[in-house]
């Protein structure tokens, strides 16, 4: 079943429980699906994301691995090309860097190098973002690095509904996929159907309709953008908020179509502003909708420094609804843009 939005009567479920429910249903339906990673077994993952899977499927299909990201992804690549559908977890996104050879040079390239004869149905899950005072080595948002690698598909669910639907789509895809979970969204609650369904890869979601400016927000920033939009509505400004859902491949058509209606654009993400995915999105808007723009495309992101450990500094580091609202006012000429 393919569904594009939750029905009004759908039951409520936490973001992190949407992960375990999706995997449990996939594993029941397909014996080739298994999970591997650090502490994913009896512990259920460092954030409880995989709770209950070990009890139901046992250690043969829910595998606790050594602390070696290279080995974890290498296991996944080998299993995938052998006909299985592995889901491997990298506990913190920061540690995908340890396994970039396996991710970028093996998983991403194998199908191309074998002329399409090899399939690599590997799904990598990982947790990104700041907000837990986990400091510089456990709080990064590195999605732009992954989106730069041809052969990878990268999704960033912003709601429990899309967490389940995008994960299902990724596991069923015959190409390597990366599912980024934001740590501050794990406790978020929203409507999630009980049945197994897919959120199509490469299709953005218009989270709020508006006529004055398009805000493209990634991951956790979707909620912040919606909060900013509600504030700005009281000032007579109607914001259209777009949640890309899939960062690679990116739904340029939906974003450009929105900008052509609103004539203004602001892109916001939690990652460092310089070289972030927002730069690519802004470039695509400029290339495809330049004649429709009444102002330059603006970007909001984190400053160019490591994520601070201090809760007070970390709060200043991560963009929020107030900064987004200020950014919108700047684009519309109400005050200078806050980057």
171-218 per-position pLDDT tens digit: 999 999 999 999 999 999 999 999 999 999 999 999 999 999 999 999
pLDDT of 338 strictly over 70: no
3-state secondary structure of 232: helix
pLDDT band at 78 (very low <50, low <70, confident <90, very high): very high
Place of tokens 């179509």: 257
pLDDT band at 10 (very low <50, low <70, confident <90, very high): confident
Of 138, 148, 264, 269, which is the active-site residue? 138
- CATH class for the region spanning 205-331: alpha beta
262 contacts: CB under 8 Å, gap ≥ 6: 210, 211, 212, 213, 214, 240
**Is 138 noted as a catalytic residue in this protein?**
yes
**Where do the structural domains in the chain lie, given as residue ranges?**
12-191, 205-331
Give the dihedral of Cα atoms 210, 215, 218, 222; nearest 10 deg: -50
**Residue 57 C-alpha from the chain's centroid:** 27
pLDDT of 274 strictly over 50: yes
- Residue 80 burial (10 A CB sphere; 0-12, 13-18, 19+): buried
- Tokens for 21, please give them: 């429910």
For domain 12-191, give the CATH superfamily: Thiamin diphosphate (ThDP)-binding fold, Pyr/PP domains (3.40.50.970)
**Residue 108 C-alpha from the chain's centroid:** 18
Residue 17: per-residue pLDDT = 97
Average pLDDT over residues 164-177: 98
111 vs 120, 145, 178, CA distance in Å?
7, 20, 16
End-to-end CA distance of the chain: 42
Distance CA(243)–CA(268), nearest Å, equals 11
């Amino acid at each position: 079943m393919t569904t594009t939005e939750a029905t009004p009567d759908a039951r409520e479920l936490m973001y992190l429980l949407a992960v375990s429910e999706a995997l449990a249903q996939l594993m029941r339906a397909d014996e080739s699906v298994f999970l591997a990673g650090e502490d994913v077994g009896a512990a259920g993952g460092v954030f409880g994301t995989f709770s209950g899977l070990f009890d139901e499927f046992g250690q043969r299909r829910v595998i606790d691995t050594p602390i070696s990201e290279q080995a974890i992804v290498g296991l996944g690549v080998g299993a995938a090309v052998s006909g299985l559908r592995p889901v491997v977890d990298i506990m913190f996104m920061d540690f995908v860097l340890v396994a970039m050879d396996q991710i970028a040079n093996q998983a991403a390239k194998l199908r191309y190098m074998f002329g399409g004869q090899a399939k690599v149905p590997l799904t990598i899950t990982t947790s990104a973002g700041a907000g837990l005072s986990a400091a510089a080595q456990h709080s990064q948002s590195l999605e732009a690095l992954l989106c730069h690698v041809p052969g990878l598909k990268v999704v960033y669910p912003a709601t429990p509904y899309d967490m389940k639907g995008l994960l299902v789509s990724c596991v069923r895809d015959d190409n390597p996929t990366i599912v980024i979970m934001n740590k501050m969204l794990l406790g978020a609650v929203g409507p999630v159907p009980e049945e197994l369904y897919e959120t199509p890869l490469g299709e953005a979601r218009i989270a709020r309709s508006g006529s004055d400016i398009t805000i493209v927000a990634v991951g956790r920033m979707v909620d912040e953008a919606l909060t900013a939009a509600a504030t700005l509505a009281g000032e007579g400004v109607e914001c259209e908020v777009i949640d890309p859902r899939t960062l690679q491949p990116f739904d340029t058509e939906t974003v450009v179509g929105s900008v052509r209606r609103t004539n203004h654009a602001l892109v916001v993400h939690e990652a460092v502003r310089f070289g972030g995915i927002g730069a690519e999105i802004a470039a695509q808007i400029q290339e495809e909708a330049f004649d429709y723009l009444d102002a330059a495309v603006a970007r909001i992101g984190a400053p160019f420094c490591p994520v601070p450990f201090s809760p007070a500094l970390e709060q200043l580091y991560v963009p929020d609804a107030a900064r987004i609202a200020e950014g919108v006012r700047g684009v519309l000429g109400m005050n200078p843009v806050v980057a």
